[in-house]
Every structure is written in C-alpha cells, then in structure tokens.
C-alpha cells in the first residue's frame, strides 16, 4: 500500500492545483505526507486545510501528529515548541469532537513523552472509555502508570494491550518490566520471552530478561542473556556491566575482569562503578 502513496500524493496535488480551496484534499494530502515522512510539508498542507475548514477534527489531530514527528527530530528547545503546538492541535480536535479516541490517545502519548504522567493517565482513560478495544491506548496507559510507580495498574493495562493485539512486542516488553517491578518474576520472564519470539534481535529485551534471571539467582541464564545482548550490540555498556556482575556471581573472576577491561573503553563511569564494588581491595 505504501508504494501507492507517491501516486496518491500526485493526484491530490493536482486536485489542489485545480481547486485551491479543496480543504478535504489538503487534509488527505497532509496525511499522505506524514506517511511518507515529509512532516514539515504535511504541516503546511494541514494548516491551510484548517484555514479553509476550521471545524475539521481530523485535520487538527493530524496536524498535532505532524508537529510531534518534527519535534522528535529537532533540538530540545525547538522540540518543546513543536510539542506544545501539538498539544494545542490535539485539544482543538477534542473540542470539535470530544469522543475522538485517536486524538485522545495521541495527546496521552505526548503527555507521556513530556513526563506529564498524571495528565496522560486522565486522557488515556478517556480514550479507553470511548474505545475499549484500543490496544495502543492501553499500552500508553500502562507506560503512564509504570512511570508513576503504579506497577499493578500498569500490568493490568499492558495485559489488556497484548490481549487485544497479540503481536504487540513493545507492550510485551513493557509488561515484562512492570511485572518485574511488581516482583512477579516468573510472569516477567514469560513476557520477555514472548517479546523475543516477536523481536528476537532486541538487545534491550535480552538485558531485561537477564536482569530477571539474575534477580532470581539464575546466574548462568543471566550471563547467557547478557552475552546475546552483546552479540547483537557489541558496544552495549550496560550489558557488559551486567555480564561482569554475573561472572562475579558465578565465581568467574577472569570473565569479570575481561568485561571490566572492555568497559574501561566503552563506558568509564560503569567501569569505575564495577571496580569500586567488586575489584577494589
């Protein structure tokens, strides 16, 4: 389908040339430009669509989304400006259409990005009330609860997310983290393993799984997980650090020192922490 985006973009552009006040065509063109990663161009089209037809909630929502995408690739000060513009656009979409679940989810996700987790939970609960079968909203709600330290609530939301979308790898990974924090270690292992069946080459998930194995004193399995993470991402300092600690637990001083020496180049801060904790006499 994405292969047809340029063709559709050309068609909408021609329609706009023939009829410059065609607001719907500009809204659709803006959506296609977002899909093609041309977010600044999308902003221009969507702003004009809104000028022509201010009461279009879809245009406002898509404008907010384009602002977020530009913000994600901007310097910090500029990014915050784009994110605040996105909030304004999402709120206008919701003023026009209060039960717009997609806009509610997008706004909640942006609040998460900005660390405004109480605001995120409020908005995301509304999204789920409006559309209970919305896995992305459940996922974003789980992230908000997790960052508020409400791990049991996070588990509930994330379990619902993966129930609604069985191949939702990010939700399974975050579910594993929430279960770990809730000290439900066996379930956390299962969640991370499910993540890896969906995305086996994610080094962060291998480290997460290794951490649970280490916490439950399964040191050999922990070391194996950390080694896999390093194979996938050789400069992964945290994985080298954790593998060094696993070697200490296994009584393998030679392996621990080897990882420490690697860390001295990759991450001197972690190397010094390991030295102070385990090698200094």
Find how far residue 22's CA is from the centre of its chain: 35
pTM here is 0.93
- In tens, the pLDDT along 189-235 reads 999 999 999 999 999 999 999 999 999 999 999 999 999 999 999 99
Residue 2: what pLDDT? Answer: 52
- In tens, the pLDDT along 75-96 reads 999 999 999 999 999 999 999 9
Length of the chain equals 281
Residue 6: what pLDDT? Answer: 83
The domain ranges of the chain are 201-281
Q: What is the mean pLDDT of residues 129-138?
A: 98
Q: Which CATH architecture has domain 201-281?
A: Alpha Horseshoe (1.25)
276 Cβ neighbours under 8 A, 6+ residues apart:
none
Is pLDDT of 100 > 90? yes
Residue 281: what pLDDT? Answer: 63
Cα dihedral 76, 78, 79, 80, rounded to 10, equals 90
Residue 201: what pLDDT? Answer: 98
Backbone Cα Rg of the chain:
23
45 Cβ neighbours under 8 A, 6+ residues apart:
26, 27, 29, 30, 33
124 Cβ neighbours under 8 A, 6+ residues apart:
104, 105, 108, 137, 140, 141, 144
- Tokens representing 207 are 């480290």
- In tens, the pLDDT along 143-167 reads 999 999 999 999 999 999 999 999 9
Q: Return d(Cα 197, Cα 151) in angstroms, integer.
A: 24
Residue 1: what pLDDT? Answer: 43
């Amino acid at each position: 389908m994405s292969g047809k985006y340029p063709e559709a973009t050309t068609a909408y552009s021609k329609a706009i040339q023939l009829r410059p006040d065609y607001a719907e065509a500009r809204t659709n063109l803006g959506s296609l430009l977002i899909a093609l990663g041309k977010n600044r161009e999308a902003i221009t089209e969507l702003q004009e669509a809104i000028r022509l037809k201010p009461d279009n909630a879809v245009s406002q929502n898509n404008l907010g989304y384009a602002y977020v995408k530009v913000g994600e690739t901007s310097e910090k000060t500029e990014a915050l400006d784009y994110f605040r513009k996105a909030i304004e656009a999402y709120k206008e979409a919701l003023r026009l259409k209060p039960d717009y679940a997609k806009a509610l989810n997008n706004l909640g996700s942006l609040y998460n990005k900005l660390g405004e987790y109480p605001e995120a939970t409020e908005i995301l609960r509304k999204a789920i009330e409006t559309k209970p079968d919305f896995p992305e909203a459940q996922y974003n709600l789980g992230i908000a609860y997790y960052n508020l330290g409400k791990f049991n609530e996070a588990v509930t939301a994330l379990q619902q997310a993966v129930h609604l979308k069985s191949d939702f790898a990010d939700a399974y990974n975050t579910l594993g983290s929430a279960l770990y924090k809730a000290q439900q270690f066996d379930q956390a292992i299962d969640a991370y393993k499910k993540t890896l069946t969906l995305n086996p080459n994610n080094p962060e998930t291998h480290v997460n799984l290794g951490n649970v194995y280490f916490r439950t004193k399964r040191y050999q399995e922990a070391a194996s997980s950390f080694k896999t993470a390093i194979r996938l991402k050789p400069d992964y300092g945290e994985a080298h650090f954790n593998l060094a600690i696993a070697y200490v637990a296994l009584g393998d001083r030679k392996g621990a020192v080897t990882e420490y020496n690697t860390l001295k180049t990759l991450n001197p801060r972690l190397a010094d922490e390991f030295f102070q904790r385990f090698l200094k006499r």
